[in-house]
């Protein structure tokens, strides 16, 4: 009978797993399982199974090397992940404002010395242009940029970090983008705007941006109400 267990990680370890997930496309759970199986193979091999790298005789008298189990597991997991149905969202379906917001989110992450783009960077980028629907909504809700930066400083700290050489979006950011498309479609809008991105940040519910927005009074319901009330489409 299958058994289950729960593993809890520190924020630092989970952040590293999240980055590994974003870099490889593998779910965090799969990465953890594969790593555990590799450790078991190295330290507690079954007596009936060949060890990693052991050469075995073949019927032709040739010798073959048993491949590391980690390579086999990784390949199997990657194949399982990439064979799953997925939706590709063309970025030409973003407004120019939404495209600019994503670029600004990367800039925010780089300036702060992070090697990943998180939901918090997308939230800060929402203030990048006064014409953004996101900026207008946040202004209408009385959530100014200074308050957001102050709240994020308390969560993330202000320690100086080295400038990263590579930067990747987290799995939460990918989820937010996916939700922005879904929200756009459900509202009958032709393109994803910064307003949809802001609403998606609040809808996602678990990221740093979602918690900061909620703490500052910018709930999903209030953001959606303000977004629905905008009459001018975003360029």
Residues 107 and 205 in one domain: yes
Greatest mean pLDDT among 89-98, 103-112, 130-139: 130-139
Could you tell me if 46 and 135 lie in one domain? no
Return d(Cα 192, Cα 190) in angstroms, integer.
7
pLDDT of residue 18: 74
- Residue 186 CB-density burial (10 A; 0-12 exposed, 13-18 middle, 19+ buried): exposed
Per-residue confidence band for 114, with pLDDT thresholds at 50, 70 and 90? confident
Q: Rounded CA gap, 158 and 75, in Å? A: 40
Same domain, 149 and 216: yes
Closest CA to 26 of 84, 83, 87, 77: 77
pTM score over 0.85: no
Query: Which residue in 67, 161, 155 sits closest to 112, CA to CA?
Result: 161
Domain holding 123, by residue range, is 91-229
Residues 135, 20 share a domain: no
Q: Are residues 62 and 112 in the same domain?
A: no
Q: Which band of pLDDT confidence, cut at 50, 70 and 90, is reported for residue 12?
A: low
Q: What is the mean pLDDT of residues 99-105?
A: 89
Say which CATH number the domain at 99 has.
Answer: 1.10.1780.10
Q: How many domains does the chain have?
A: 2
| In a shared domain, residues 28 and 125 | no
Whether residue 132 lies inside any domain: the answer is yes
Q: How far apart are CA 108 and CA 117, in angstroms?
A: 8
CB atoms within 10 A of CB 9: 13
> Per residue in 34-91, pLDDT tens?
677 666 666 665 554 444 443 434 444 444 444 444 344 344 444 433 344 444 456 6
In a domain, 157, yes or no: yes
Nearest CA-CA partner of 93 in 200, 188, 190, 208: 190
Q: Tell me, yes or no, whether 21 and 127 share the same domain.
A: no
Could you tell me if 201 and 130 lie in one domain?
yes
């Amino acid at each position: 009978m299958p058994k289950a267990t729960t593993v809890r990680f520190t924020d630092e370890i989970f952040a590293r797993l999240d980055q590994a997930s974003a870099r490889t496309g593998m779910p965090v759970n799969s990465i953890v399982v594969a790593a555990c199986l590799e450790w078991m193979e190295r330290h507690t091999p079954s007596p009936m199974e060949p060890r990693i790298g052991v050469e075995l005789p073949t019927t032709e008298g040739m010798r073959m090397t048993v491949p590391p189990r980690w390579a086999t597991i990784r390949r199997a997991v990657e194949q399982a992940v990439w064979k799953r149905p997925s939706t590709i969202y063309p970025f030409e379906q973003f407004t120019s404002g939404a495209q600019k917001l994503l670029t600004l989110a990367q800039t925010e992450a780089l300036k702060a010395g992070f090697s990943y783009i998180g939901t918090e960077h997308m939230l800060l980028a929402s203030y990048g242009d006064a014409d953004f629907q996101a900026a207008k909504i946040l202004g209408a809700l009385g959530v100014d940029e200074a308050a957001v930066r102050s709240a994020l400083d308390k969560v993330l700290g202000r320690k100086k970090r080295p400038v990263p050489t590579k930067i990747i979006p987290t799995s939460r950011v990918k989820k937010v983008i996916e939700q922005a498309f879904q929200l756009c479609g459900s509202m009958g809008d032709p393109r994803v705007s910064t307003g949809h991105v802001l609403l998606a940040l609040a809808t996602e519910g678990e990221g740093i941006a979602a918690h900061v927005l909620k703490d500052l009074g910018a709930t999903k319901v209030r953001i959606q109400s303000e977004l629905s009330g905008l009459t001018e489409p975003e360029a």
